[in-house]
A and B are shown apart, each in its own frame.
Chain A
Amino acid sequence: MGALTNIGAGVVALWIFVALAAPVLAPFDPNALLSPFATPGAPGPDDGTFWLGTDHLGRDILSRIIWGARSVLTYAPVAAFCAYVLGVTMGLAAGYFKGWVDAGLSFVSNAVLAFPVLVLYILVITTIGASALNIVLAVTFASAPGIMRIVRSLVLDLRNRGYVAAAETRGEALWWILFVEILPNARGPLIVDACLRLGYVIITIGVLGFLGLGLPPPDPDWGGMINESRALTLAFPHMTLFPCLAISSLVLGLNLMADGLRKGEVRS
């Protein structure tokens, strides 16, 4: 199983490298309209090659995937991070104070979690409009309750430990107790969850793009690429196949990493 974890980490590292080096790696401008409907391997301008073909507008698919990696690896971690900041704070408050704080926060998060998640995304995005900021907001809003639940259950246990009592007796500030004494001891399950959740967020951004609710065109976005060429799948599978492979491999890498981390967690 160790090998699979390494493969997962390798795939994720590769995509991060691709995202960082996008300007160097991409053979063409991702938004340039070159020659439409080119099949994979067809020759392009300036002695270049359309290794993965072009889409119906003549944009190079490889370049769009490379630049798309940059956008997905920017927005997904930012969205997951915001969700964590909100969810962890809520979870710490609910688990530490218990009582009505817990009751109130738990009711709100249960109401949000009762929503089938995609329905929630569709309603929120169609209301506030599709943009990068709004996708981050929607993901934060929809994911924070789930994170809160995990943190809350961990904190309910950790707050009874001796070192918390010691810190309270020393008269440490509240934020110190929450973020320095309690939170680091809850990190194990949270790191595994973060890996899985990042995968979900990437899928979510992909699904929103696929439904036409993602990042506004023309900038490359994997989900959006699939949406634009969806109707042409039967005639030109390469237009949709490669973005799908890209997103699947990235999520698979993250899930393999999470699986390895979880096994390590159980062992230690």
Chain B
Amino acid sequence: MLSFVLRRLGAMALTMLVVSAVVFGLMELIPGNVATMVLGPYASDEQKNIWLSANGYLEPAWCRYGVWLANFVQGDFGHSIRFKVPVGDVLWPRLGRTAILGVSALAVIVPLSLTLGVLAGMREGSIIDRLISVIGIVTTSIPEFASAVFLTSIFVFWLQWLPGASTMSDGFDAVQLVLPVLVLVLYDFGYIARMTRASMIDVIATPYIRTAILKGLPRRQVILRHAFRNALIAPFTVIMLQINWLLSGVIVVEFFFAYKGFGALLLEAALNRDVFVIEACAMIAVFVAVATQALADIGYAFLNPRIRFGSAD
């Protein structure tokens, strides 16, 4: 088990290293001068050169990458060109807000999709099953920006129940979180529900469930005690991998509702070519992706004793 975990951690570190180099290289490809963006279009070439050499931009790219990497590993993410503060100062509060958004969304998505998936998978082909399947297909077909528009039109424009923006300018306000969370839930719950359903159907067809039914256990107990626990193994992996998808949704939702979180920061940094913020954001995004993937694999092996750690990837 330990060597399995260590190998996963090693692969994680290697992936992050490769990605950081790729992102850095990508930023090098960008035409245009960093100094022009910082000093403005009217700065003279001499001023630009002074700024560039003072900030180490005249070193070769691999040199700057090395310096950045060494600092990054020690927790120094560099200086934001756009916000004119250390990257950490703008990054951590943003990340905190996004964590609130993401955790709230997951807190709704997970119970909802597991319940619906189990309900649908319990009786394959029943009306409930078909209804849940169709609802799942419809909601996953509506892109986040479209459902954001639909929900805003309904709840903000016509019913006037909810605020249309989630700037949180007067401190944290849970009401402003409702629409962003709802959009994320709508787009993401269908897939997990579908996977839970498929897993439930597989489990229901196993001999031990037939045994449990035939020995006269109440249906409730068969479902909850025997089927449900085994049917959770596959959705666990799916949920962990879904966190990666959630991040994409978060960018759209934060942009639409003007929620000042990590996704909006990433977009703003990319549009303004704020290299160190982009690099830090990319690292966090990739860390979340590989960490959840590793957790999914480790958790899967842990939940399912039939998987042997040695032979697993």
A174 located at the interface, meaning its Cβ lies under 8 Å from any Cβ of chain B in the complex = no
Q: How large is the interface on A (under 10, 10 to 19, 20 to 34, 35 or more residues)?
A: 35 or more
Q: CB-CB contacts of A128-159 with B at 8 A, as 1s and 0s?
A: 10000000000000000000000000000000
Q: Cα distance A27–B256 when bound, in Å?
A: 31
Question: Which residue of A111, A114, A244, A248 has the most chain B CB atoms within 10 A of its CB atom?
Answer: A114
User: Which A209-268 residues have C-beta < 8 A from chain B?
Assistant: 210-212, 223, 226, 230, 233-234, 237, 240-241, 244-245, 247-248, 251-252, 254-256, 259
CB neighbors of B among A18-69 (8 A)? none
Q: Does A180 contact B (CB under 8 A)?
A: no
Against B, the Cβ 8 Å flags (1 = close, 0 = not) of A93-109 are: 00000000000000000
Closest Cβ of chain A: how far from B150's Cβ, in Å?
6
Q: How far is the CA of A211 from the CA of B255 in the complex (A)?
A: 8
Chain B 269-299 interface 0/1 with A at a Cβ cutoff of 8 Å (1 = within): 0110100001001100110111001000000
Residue A206 is within 8 A (CB to CB) of chain B in the complex: yes
Quick check: is A169 within 8 A (CB to CB) of the other chain? no
**Chain B residues within 8 Å of A123, by CB:** 23, 26, 270, 278, 282
Pair A4/B134 contact, Cβ less than 8 Å:
yes
Q: Is B19 an interface residue (CB 8 A)?
A: yes
A237 engages B19 (CB within 8 Å): no
Verify if A160 is at the interface (C-beta below 8 Å from B): no
Most chain A CB within 10 A, of B130, B133, B137, B138, is at B137
1/0 contact trace for B128-153 toward A, CB 8 Å? Answer: 00100110011011111110011011
**In the complex, what's the smallest C-beta–C-beta distance from A106 to chain B, in angstroms?**
10
B143 surroundings in chain A (CB, below 8 A): 203, 206-207, 244, 247-248, 251
Query: Is B248 in contact with chain A by the CB < 8 A criterion?
Result: yes
A235: nearest residue on chain B (CB-CB)?
B157
Q: A255 touching B251 by the CB < 8 A rule?
A: no
Is the C-beta of B178 less than 8 angstroms from some C-beta in chain A? no
Q: Does A117 contact B (CB under 8 A)?
A: yes
Set B27, B137, B152, B286: member contacting A256, Cβ < 8 A: B137
Measured CB to CB, the nearest residue on chain A to B165 is A234
Task: State whether A122 touches B252 (Cβ < 8 A).
Answer: no
Which residues of chain B (16-45) have a CB below 8 Å from chain A? 18-19, 22-23, 26-27, 29-30
Q: Is the CB of A117 within 8 A of B248?
A: yes
Find B285's partner among A116, A128, A259 (CB 8 Å cutoff): A116
Q: With A116-B244, A233-B164 in contact, is A251–B282 under 8 Å at CB?
A: no
For A226, list chain B residues within 8 Å (CB).
145-146, 149
Q: Which of B130, B137, B267, B282 contacts A211 (CB 8 A)?
A: B267
Pick the contact of B141 from A211, A212, A248 — CB < 8 Å?
A: A248
| CA gap between A230 and B143 in the complex, in Å | 15
**Nearest chain B CB to A116's CB is how many angstroms away?**
4
Asked if A114 meets B19 with Cβ closer than 8 Å, knowing A123-B282, A126-B271, A127-B26, the reply is yes
Q: How far is the CA of A16 from the CA of B134 in the complex (A)?
A: 24
Contact present for B15 and A233 (CB under 8 Å)? no
Given contacts A119-B251, A199-B141, contact A244 B286 (CB under 8 A): no
Q: Which residue of A lies closest to B143 (CB)?
A: A203
A165 close to B (CB within 8 Å): no
Q: B193 at the A/B interface (Cβ < 8 Å)?
A: no
A73 to B146, CA, bound (A): 18
B150 touches A241 (CB 8 A): yes
Residues of the A chain whose Cβ atoms lie less than 8 Å from the Cβ of B271: 126, 212
Contact between chains at B26 and A119 (CB < 8 Å): no
Per-residue interface assignment for chain A, residues 181 to 213, with 1 indicating a CB less than 8 Å from any chain B CB and 0 otherwise = 000000000000000000100010011001110
Asked if A252 and B137 sit within 8 Å, CB to CB, the answer is yes
A255 to B190, CA, bound (A): 12
Q: Are A234 and B157 in contact (CB under 8 A)?
A: yes
Tell yes or no: A118 within 8 A of B by CB: yes
A123 to B289: give the CA distance in the assembly, Å: 16
Task: Report whether B152 and A234 are in contact in the complex, using a CB–CB cutoff of 8 Å.
Answer: yes
B156 located at the interface, meaning its Cβ lies under 8 Å from any Cβ of chain A in the complex: yes
**Alpha-carbon distance between A117 and B290 when the two chains are bound, in angstroms:** 13
Q: Contact check, A119 vs B146: say whether CB atoms are below 8 A apart.
A: no
Q: Residue on B with the closest CB to A129? A: B31
* Pairs across A and B, CB under 8 Å, 22 listed: A111-B22, A114-B15, A114-B286, A115-B286, A116-B248, A116-B285, A117-B248, A122-B267, A126-B271, A127-B27, A128-B29, A199-B141, A206-B145, A207-B145, A210-B145, A211-B267, A241-B153, A244-B142, A247-B146, A252-B141, A255-B141, A259-B137
Apart from A111-B18, A244-B145, 20 more pairs, CB < 8 Å: A110-B15, A116-B288, A116-B289, A117-B248, A118-B248, A119-B266, A122-B251, A123-B23, A128-B29, A206-B143, A207-B143, A210-B145, A211-B267, A234-B164, A237-B149, A237-B157, A240-B153, A244-B149, A245-B146, A259-B137
List B residues at the A interface (Cβ < 8 Å): 15, 18-19, 22-23, 26-27, 29-30, 130, 133-134, 137-138, 140-146, 149-150, 152-153, 156-157, 164, 244-245, 247-248, 251-252, 255-256, 266-267, 270-271, 273, 278, 281-282, 285-286, 288-290, 293
Q: Which 3 A-B pairs have the closest CB atoms?
A: A118-B248, A244-B146, A252-B141
